[in-house]
Amino acid sequence: MDLVRRTIELALENVENGGRPFACVISRGGKVVAESPNLVAQTHDPTAHAEIVAIRQACQRFGTENFEGHDIYVLAHPCPMCLGALYYCSPDRVVFVTTRDEYSRYYKDDRKYFELENFYDEFSKPWQERRLPMEHRPEEDRRRSLLALARVELVIRGEEAVPNRPGASLRGRPTISLPRLRWT
Ligand SMILES: [Zn+2]
């Protein structure tokens, strides 16, 4: 099966059904294992992009979040949300049919913060400069988050776990390495 053609077909069918012109096909060894069009218009779920829906289908079907050995076909170059999801599931390859510039004139969105022009620029700004208002509130929640992350790191390294109680101190535990964590 020509998977690029299948992706285009899915997108066109979706438009016929009142949906948006995007689609995603996930394949292994040339066979389709999951596929979806964009379902935002049908579901009113802003995260129902074709990539996200197809990735969820495949994860549930195969019980894994690791897509090594898979290729993912998308109609248009992925948006930042989908690009993030693609990095998380780590397929061997992502094939896209149209570039961002090619579909920009068809891209319509009435959302307050998200415009095609700022797709990627916005995300790379320091959080204080983004259009989406964000606040950093460190205090107690930060301490608990650090503790949870430190426990995960110890489990990964097979070392002794930090006691599972709120407020447990990280001090005096030289086996925990936190320099990779950034909180700014
Ligand atoms: Zn997307």
Tell me the per-residue pLDDT of 107-150, one tens digit each, with 9 for 90 and over.
766 677 777 777 788 889 999 999 889 998 877 667 777 777 78
Residue 52's nearest CA partner among 79, 14, 17, 12 is 79
Between the CA of 162 and the centroid of ligand 1 the distance, in Å, is 38
Residue tagged active-site, from 9, 35, 51, 159: 51
Residue 51 annotated to the active site: yes
Convert the pLDDT of each residue in 35-47 to its tens digit.
999 999 999 999 9
Q: What is the pLDDT of residues 148-163, one digit of tens each?
A: 778 777 777 777 554 5
What's the helix, strand, coil split of the chain in %, to 5?
Answer: 40, 15, 45
Q: Which residues contact 54 (CB under 8 A, 6 or more apart)?
A: 24, 25, 26, 34, 35, 36, 72
Write b or e for each residue in 53-82: b if 16 or more Cβ atoms lie within 10 A of its Cβ, otherwise e.
bbbebbeeeeeeeebeebbbbbbbbbbebb
Residue 60 reports pLDDT greater than 50: yes
Residue 183: pLDDT over 50: no
Q: Ligand 1 centroid vs 45 CA: distance in angstroms? A: 12
| Mean pLDDT for all residues in the chain | 84
Ion ligand 1 neighbours, Cβ < 5 Å: 49, 79, 81-82
For the cut 50, the answer to whether the pLDDT of residue 167 exceeds it is: no
Higher pLDDT, 172 or 54: 54
Q: How many Å lie between the centroid of ligand 1 and the Cα of residue 43?
A: 15
